[in-house]
Amino acid sequence: MLETVDLSLKVPKQKYWKEIKRWQVRLRTESMRLFNETRNALALFEGWDAAGKGGAIKRVTETLDPRGFHVVPFAAPSGAEARHHYLWRFWKALPTGGQLAIFDRSHYGRVLVERIEGFCTDTEWKRAFREINEFEQQLVNSGVVVVKFWLHLDQEEQLRRFKARELDPFRSYKLTEEDWRNREKWDHYLEAVEDMLEKTSTAWAPWTVVEANDKFHARVKVVRTVTEALEAAV
């Protein structure tokens, strides 16, 4: 599936500023409608390390009213989170009162990192595909707009970004030993991502694969997709 993604897609810098502002204005309008009508939306972001999830999220939120959204970054569960069912902490973070909730990483960790690193059994991660589909269907049935992004790049571009981060004193903290270790397991993660996209891209909550070799293209596509989803629903 991912082999067919055209990673050569680009948006020239001059065109980017015009396009991103145009979609951000429309998104702000739709987010206010969402707030006024007390409808809720969830946008979740998954992708390769250094694929640009943070930058894309910033472009979604930077012109929105702070009362109308919240961003929740998820790492490995700990404390009470680890003692509950894996979906528990995601239920707690769902949007209310006309908000857009943004998940930086999400419940899909169950079928990605937890699968690859052995943090759950084969039976548990295989069962999770059905559990996640049912979870998202419950959200949609209750009126939540669900938008899901996988930010995709190739190994060469990821390596270039890793090396750039190493040399940047303001961004070097983003690069960890875990990032390098995950890169060594690229083929295993690729198989897991393919399974995830195939088994959890549903009619009620389809995946949007974002061609992320070019950050400008990726950011415009993300903001446009969120905007169009809200326009269609609200």
Cβ-contact 198, 150 below 8 angstroms: no
Q: What fold is seen in the domain 8-233?
A: Rossmann fold (3.40.50)
Specify the DSSP class assigned to residue 99.
P
Query: What's the predicted TM-score (pTM) here?
Result: 0.95
Provide the residue ranges of all domains of the chain, joining segments of one domain with +: 8-233
Per-residue model confidence as pLDDT tens for the chain (234 residues): 899 999 999 999 999 999 999 999 999 999 999 999 999 999 999 999 999 999 999 999 999 999 999 999 999 999 999 999 999 999 999 999 999 999 999 999 999 999 999 999 999 999 999 999 999 999 999 999 999 999 999 999 999 999 998 888 878 877 888 889 889 999 999 999 999 999 999 999 999 999 999 999 999 999 999 999 999 997
Q: Where are the alpha helices (DSSP H) in the chain?
A: 13-36, 53-61, 80-83, 88-92, 113-117, 122-141, 155-167, 177-184, 186-200, 215-233
* Spatial distance between the Cα atoms of 22 and 24, rounded to a whole number of angstroms: 6
Specify the DSSP class assigned to residue 176.
-
Cβ-contact 219, 47 below 8 angstroms: no
From the CB of residue 212, how many other CB atoms can be counted at a distance below 10 Å? 30
Given this model, what pLDDT does residue 181 score? Answer: 87
Cβ-contact 212, 6 below 8 angstroms: no
Q: State the first-to-last Cα distance of the chain, in angstroms, to the nearest integer.
A: 31
pLDDT digits (tens, 9 = 90+) for 66-114: 999 999 999 999 999 999 999 999 999 999 999 999 999 999 999 999 9
Q: What are the backbone angles phi and psi of residue 71, rounded to the nearest 5°?
A: -110, 130
User: Which two three-digit tokens encode residue 56?
Assistant: 């894309």
104 to 11, 107, 185, 234: CA distances (angstroms): 24, 10, 21, 24
Handedness of CA 25, 26, 27, 33 (dihedral sign): positive
Could you give the angle at the alpha carbon of 150 between the alpha carbons of 148 and 122, nearest 5°?
A: 90
